[in-house]
Amino acid sequence: MRSVTVIQGDYATSCDSEVQMNTILGSCVAVCLYDRVAGVGGMNHYLLPGDTRTSNGTARYGVHLMELMINALLKNGARRSNFEAKLFGGAHVTVTGSFENIGDRNVRFGRDFLSREGIPIRGESVGGAAARRLRFIPTTGEVRQMLVPIQQAPPVTPAPPKPAAPAPDITLF
């Protein structure tokens, strides 16, 4: 199979049965959208949900990538009424509890967007603390996922204190 890597802020579509799409997700989300009847599908990888007022067409936002991917699928012969989706990612990967969980917001956006568009979600693996590695076959909608556990960082040992500098011989006023 020919492999296509979908990086952060990007999407890809294909109707070639020899193509598989790959990505790695942490708090980001990937929506795998496909039309099994037409044999065409696509994957995106968004960093932030965004909305129509604030995204300004920036590719890192889910709202922009979803529209681009849907349009590309329709150009490749998909029918909106045949769309099915699978949703992945949205892990809580920050180390401290002081940061907002962007993964939850990304997942919520994906679910809300697909619901508003009337696109059924046929499967999902979201949340948790592990990163995900995905392989998606766009013509069939088949997805393989591997969870990548977050590595525990070794404890940080503070450096020994530096010896105090000698007092200067000059006094300044």
Q: Which two tokens stand for residue 32?
A: 């795998």
Q: Which residue carries 């105090």 as its tokens? A: 164
User: Which is the catalytic residue, given 19, 21, 28, 93?
Assistant: 28
CA distance 47 to 119: 21
E strands, 80-168, are: 83-89, 121-126, 131-137, 142-148
What pLDDT, on the 0 to 100 scale, is given for residue 55? 45
DSSP state of 12: E
What pLDDT, on the 0 to 100 scale, is given for residue 47? 87
CA dihedral 51, 55, 61, 65 (to 10 degrees): 90
CA distance 60 to 150: 23
2-147 belongs to CATH 3.30.1330.200: yes
What pLDDT, on the 0 to 100 scale, is given for residue 10? 94
Question: Taking the CA of residue 16 as centre, how many other CA atoms within 13 Å lie in the half-sphere pointing to its CB?
Answer: 11
Torsion sign over Cα 46, 51, 57, 58: negative
Pair 42, 12: CB distance under 8 Å: yes
What pLDDT, on the 0 to 100 scale, is given for residue 163? 65
Q: Which two tokens stand for residue 11?
A: 């999407």
CA distance 109 to 105: 6
What pLDDT, on the 0 to 100 scale, is given for residue 86? 98
28 is catalytic: yes
What pLDDT, on the 0 to 100 scale, is given for residue 168? 58
pLDDT in tens, the chain (173 residues): 899 999 999 999 999 999 999 999 999 999 999 999 999 999 999 988 875 444 455 556 888 899 999 999 999 999 999 999 999 999 987 655 545 688 999 999 999 999 999 999 999 999 998 999 999 999 999 999 999 876 654 555 555 666 666 655 555 54
The residue ranges of every structural domain in the chain are 2-147
